Amino acid sequence: MNICKMSLVELKKNLESLALSSVDIVRAYREACEADNKTDKPLMGYIEMYADAEDKARLADEARAKGDTRPLLGLPFAVKDNISIKGKECTCGSRILRGYVAPYNATVTDRLIQAGAVPLGRTNMDEFAMGSSTEYSSYGPSRNPVDRDLTPGGSSGGSAAVVAGGQAPFALGTETGGSVRLPASYCGIYGLKPTYGTLSRSGVVAFGSSLDQVGLLARTVDDIALVLSVMAGKDSLDDTSAELDFSSLATLEPLDLNGIKIALPAQFAQTEGLDPEVGAVFAEACDWFRSRGATVETVSIPVLDAAIGCYYVIALAEAASNLSRFDGIRYGMRKDPGAGYDELYVATRSDGFNAEVKRRIVIGNYVLSTHFSGDTYKKGMSVRARIQKDIGDILSKYDFILCPTSPTTAFKLGQKVDDPLAMYLSDLYTTFVNLARIPSLSVPMGKTKAGLPVGIQICGAHFAEEKILKAAKAWEASR
Amino acid sequence: MSDIKMNHIQTFNPGAAVHTDGDLTYEVIIGSEIHCELLTKSKAFCSCENRYGGMPNTRVCPVCLGLPGAMPVVGKEYVEFGTVAGLALDCKIARFTKFDRKHYFYPDLVKGYQVTQNDLPLCSDGHVMINLARSDESPRLKKVRIERIHLEEDVGKSLHIEGAHSYIDYNRSGVPLIEIVTKPDMSSPEEASLFMQTVREILRYIGVTDGNLEEGSMRCDANVNLRITENGKHWSTPISEIKNMNSFKAIRDACTYEIGRQLREFRQDRQVFSQGYKVTMGWDESKGETVIQRTKNSFIDYRFVVEPDIKPFHISESFIDRALSRVGERPAEKRERFRREYGLSDFDVNTLTTDRALADWFEQAAKASKDPKKVANWVLAEVLAIVNERGISVGELPFGPAHIAGLVDAVALGTITSKQAKDVFAEILATGAMPDAIIKKHSMAQVSDESVIEAIVDTVIAENPAAIEDFRKGKTNVVGWLTGQVMKKSKGQANPASASSLVQKKLAQLV
């Protein structure tokens, strides 16, 4: 019985039948991670594995013995380093938050813990979720379990690496413009970006608040559905969270695809940088949907051409604002040259943030300054409104939008680290989803000849998570 | 909300008064910005208790400390208080509004931005009528227009110890504020001070703020400049924004000083107003001077961004109706009604309405009594004497409005004399007993029952045959003596007038 290869649902069954204990599971993951750390090219998906995970697992086992049947009792999970867990460090992969211990739980982690789940450790990420490879982490990069010379993608690369690499059954990531789906695609697992408002953002360190959403990474559709059913819904601590009932997700039937209408954005098919092998997997995916009775049509959505520009205007404006609070006064790192506040801020922020974060703060502040950039921010907001409207129109006529998650497969460590523009283009197919606030699931639908995973994303209307997961389940069942 | 109906009062707008200073003339132009902390139960965006003082950093949470990941959630009471304040100052209330972030760095600002309202303020286009008359004159009103009132959060408090450390108390961080911005409609330091007093009075009346200038729950800034005419040419001096004025006297003194300073400066260098040029001045109370804190040659780049963590929201008509019912009667309306309903003088009305608690206290007594005017006299003389002497509020008195109503009515009904009323009041003050009980206990009630008095008169006549003989001989002064005997026998309780007339009647029968 290889615990590390089991899905979350399988582990749950084994726990319920008492074939396994939570301690067994936590120990297996720890040992897998420790063994991997001794190899030449370790994954480095975890920044920290929690020393108290086994104690929590033991408590879960004791609770089960007393009749506790909570849905995630004793099941471990990994969490991205920008999601708060009370009493644990939460550093966003940055020097500036080194030593900051969260005094409260994020609502998402709180709901998992309330459901009995055991936090296993925090995972690596690009600093403040700004990046597509984890190479911008102050802890150093993680590796792709499929090929250790490749990046796992980012920014939730650590979460994707530990799930794909058998060091956790599921992990939480976060998205602003594709940071869950991209690494899921690169590592060959499922990655869900829920509708804006499905999951509470309380306790999740903000990047672009109007785009941010917690995402899920797992190896099966049912695993994602199970976890989502526990976490989703209104939170009094997040004004933007939605009133929802996703409890039906716990039992998921495959979707009958007969008569389902799927739109393929013409704009993405014409992308110059689209890897032909990715294109081939995508074509196969389209054929598969057709073979099940779905109508698959290419549709022109001109506003998509503006998505990535619009995304960077809004995301960076909000990022500049959100990162203002890291000033060295109340928590985290402080560098004080002893010459007053301004010098303290400059020294702390210069040293605490990496070059990429500083670049984005500068761009964001430039965008927000009417003095320097006029009405760039306002224009960005109106383009976004147009994207929301046009995507909404498409999704009122079609059940899904289908497209590759990324134009390419995972790239080599070091390949794009000094070319920010190339790095930004990794997000080419993902940002419109965040701008339109719709849900999207990256499904590992194929591989290149070299064996590198290719993710295809299924995007749906607001709060159509269940339908998307059912469609993915139909595909998964056919494998 | 409709304007205050005050038909008999002359509203006038005197315009800016023109002053002369040597060979030039000038007008004073003052606008104001007032920050007011609201008396909501919790802070603006979290459930921390909203209260002044206490041990530093004890009323804080992840939200008001701006910890990573913490999100603001707007308190309903916060928007309600802001709306009530706006309605009380005759503003229009936005039906759709939102919050924005205003960025700057300062250690007491936890997030590097302040949550405020930039382009869609909750309230706009209001006004306040200030009364330029003395308290014993009929009102002379001037209108000061309110440009906008918006919601924003307060910041923490810094304490700098020179050469040592700086300390920050975040208990105030996230306390709900309104900022009231006026048009430059005030034309003297007195008007500026009066305006701020009037706003404070209104907002305290409706219970949205305690308006404490010293504790900083109300902070007034004044924007002052001059329009100078010299040899037929017009000049405008640069605008000074004066801060740190924590009394109404300070507002008057600071504006007065600033006017003089701007005149002197103008004579020296003729520096004139240019768009966007503004100087921030602090008022140094001990020196009696305004001191330059900061010059703004260009605007500060606050990099406003829509607050993405709070959804823009609609304000419903029913919400506004509820707020309107909370506004109730404002001071000027109350004064007008007191004048009309109780026939009180301007001076009495002004004194009785300085404080809402006092006005309400008076009105309860007035309503319970048959003679509101007499009640007013009692409140203004005896009751306020106690309040002032003890430095307490009417709520803290050992007696209530019903005591005064009962006392006034006992005199009006002739149950006790005015002289006895003073004794009864002294006892009310000492014991808190009701006047009826005190009158009964000391058998003070006047006997007005004629049959009772007649019996006493008969006894007195029977006991004093010599006096009757004198009367028969024409000595009419025995009437007074005999009446005195009746009063004595009744232990002072007989109604003196009745006693006198009965004595006369009996004597007449005897003759």
A305-361 per-position pLDDT tens digit: 999 999 999 999 999 999 999 999 999 999 999 888 899 999 999 999 999 999 999
Least confident of A439-443, B169-173, B368-372: B368-372
Facing residue for A238 by CB, picked from B65, B71, B304: B71
Q: How many residues does chain A have?
A: 479
B384-402 per-position pLDDT tens digit: 999 999 999 898 999 999 9
Look over chain A and give the mean of its residue pLDDT values, rounded to a whole number.
96
Please identify among residues 186-215 of chain A the ones whose CB lies closer than 8 Å to any CB of chain B.
201-206, 208-210
Cα-Cα-Cα-Cα dihedral of A203, A208, A213, A218, to 10°? -100
Residue A377 near chain B (CB below 8 Å): yes
| pLDDT of B1 above 60 | no
Interface test with B, best of A239, A334, A350 (most B CBs within 10 A): A239
Least confident of B20-29, B117-126, B256-265, B296-305: B296-305
Residue A381 near chain B (CB below 8 Å): yes
Last residue of a domain, one of B319, B343, B372: B319
Facing residue for B68 by CB, picked from A90, A237, A321: A90
Structural domain count, chain A: 1
User: What ipTM, to 2 d.p.?
Assistant: 0.95
3-state secondary structure of A383: helix
Instruction: Tell me whether residues A369 and B301 touch, CB distance under 8 A.
Output: yes
In terms of residue numbers, what domain contains A182?
1-479
Instruction: Tell me whether residues B105 and A238 touch, CB distance under 8 A.
Output: no
Long-range pairs for A248-254: beta carbons < 8 A, 24 or more residues apart: A248/A466, A249/A225, A249/A465, A249/A466, A249/A469, A250/A71, A250/A225, A250/A226, A252/A221, A252/A222, A252/A225, A252/A466, A252/A469, A252/A470, A252/A473, A253/A470, A253/A473, A254/A470, A254/A473, A254/A474, A254/A477
- Identify the residue with better confidence: B270 or B110: B110
Measured CA distances, A452 to A146, A445, B86, B505 (Å): 7, 11, 63, 129
Please identify among residues 77-106 of chain B the ones whose CB lies closer than 8 Å to any CB of chain A.
101, 103, 105-106
Examine residue B362 and state whether it is found in any structural domain, yes or no.
no
B427-450 per-position pLDDT tens digit: 999 999 999 888 888 777 776 677
User: How confident is the model at residue A364, as a pLDDT?
Assistant: 97
The band of B3, judged by pLDDT with boundaries at 50, 70 and 90, is very low
Long-range pairs for B427-436: beta carbons < 8 A, 24 or more residues apart: B428/B398, B428/B399, B428/B403, B429/B386, B429/B398, B429/B399, B432/B398, B432/B399, B434/B402, B434/B403, B434/B406, B435/B403, B435/B406, B435/B407, B435/B410, B436/B406, B436/B410
| pLDDT of A178 above 80 | yes
The band of A284, judged by pLDDT with boundaries at 50, 70 and 90, is very high
User: How confident is the model at residue B8, as a pLDDT?
Assistant: 45
Instruction: Tell me whether residues A330 and B299 touch, CB distance under 8 A.
Output: no
Instruction: Tell me whether residues A83 and B73 touch, CB distance under 8 A.
Output: no
Last residue of a domain, one of B265, B295, B319: B319
Residue A324 near chain B (CB below 8 Å): yes
Least confident of A208-217, B109-118, B352-361: B352-361
Instruction: Tell me whether residues A83 and B69 touch, CB distance under 8 A.
Output: yes
Facing residue for B69 by CB, picked from A84, A368, A381: A84
Does B463 lie in the same domain as B315? no
Tell if the pTM clears 0.90, that is, is over it. no
| pLDDT of A40 above 90 | yes
Please identify among residues 162-201 of chain B the ones whose CB lies closer than 8 Å to any CB of chain A.
168
Instruction: Tell me whether residues A325 and B305 touch, CB distance under 8 A.
Output: no
| pLDDT of A281 above 60 | yes
Nearest chain B alpha carbon to A324: B112
Bridge partners, B226 (sequence order): B28
Nearest chain A alpha carbon to B65: A330
DSSP readout, B354-368?
SSHHHHHHHHHHHHH
**Is-contact A244 A230, C-beta < 8 A?**
no
Facing residue for B308 by CB, picked from A84, A209, A370: A209
Among B168, B64, B230, which Cα is nearest to A341's?
B168
Q: Catalytic site residues of A?
A: 80, 155, 179
User: How confident is the model at residue B2, as a pLDDT?
Assistant: 39
CA distance from start to end of chain A: 22
Instruction: Tell me whether residues A104 and B67 touch, CB distance under 8 A.
Output: yes
User: How confident is the model at residue B165, as a pLDDT?
Assistant: 83
Last residue of a domain, one of B319, B341, B359: B319
CATH number at residue A75: 3.90.1300.10
| pLDDT of B4 above 50 | no
User: How confident is the model at residue A349, as a pLDDT?
Assistant: 98
Nearest chain A alpha carbon to B105: A324
Instruction: Tell me whether residues B106 and A317 touch, CB distance under 8 A.
Output: no
Instruction: Tell me whether residues B111 and A324 touch, CB distance under 8 A.
Output: yes
CATH number at residue B505: 1.10.10.410
Measured CA distances, B284 to A192, B217, B224 (Å): 60, 19, 16
Instruction: Tell me whether residues A239 and B309 touch, CB distance under 8 A.
Output: yes
Facing residue for B308 by CB, picked from A318, A329, A371: A318
B107-164 per-position pLDDT tens digit: 999 999 999 999 999 999 999 999 998 877 788 899 999 999 999 999 999 988 877 7
In terms of residue numbers, what domain contains B29?
18-319
Among A326, A318, A325, which Cα is nearest to A368's?
A318
Nearest chain A alpha carbon to B313: A239
User: How confident is the model at residue B451, as a pLDDT?
Assistant: 79
| pLDDT of A61 above 90 | yes
Read off the pLDDT of each residue in B198-225 and give the average, rounded to a whole number. Answer: 93
From CA A183, how far away is CA A457, in angstroms rounded?
Answer: 12
Please count the residue pairs, one from chain A and one from chain B, whose beta carbons lie less than 8 angstroms apart: 106
Structural domain count, chain B: 2
The band of A280, judged by pLDDT with boundaries at 50, 70 and 90, is very high
Using a CB-CB cut-off of 8 Å, the residues of chain B touching A325 are 66, 68, 110-112
B236-251 per-position pLDDT tens digit: 888 999 998 989 999 9
- Identify the residue with better confidence: B355 or B257: B257
**Is-contact B20 B223, C-beta < 8 A?**
no
User: How confident is the model at residue A156, as a pLDDT?
Assistant: 98
User: How confident is the model at residue A269, as a pLDDT?
Assistant: 82
Facing residue for A205 by CB, picked from B69, B105, B310: B69
Read off the pLDDT of each residue in A39-65 and give the average, rounded to a whole number. Answer: 98
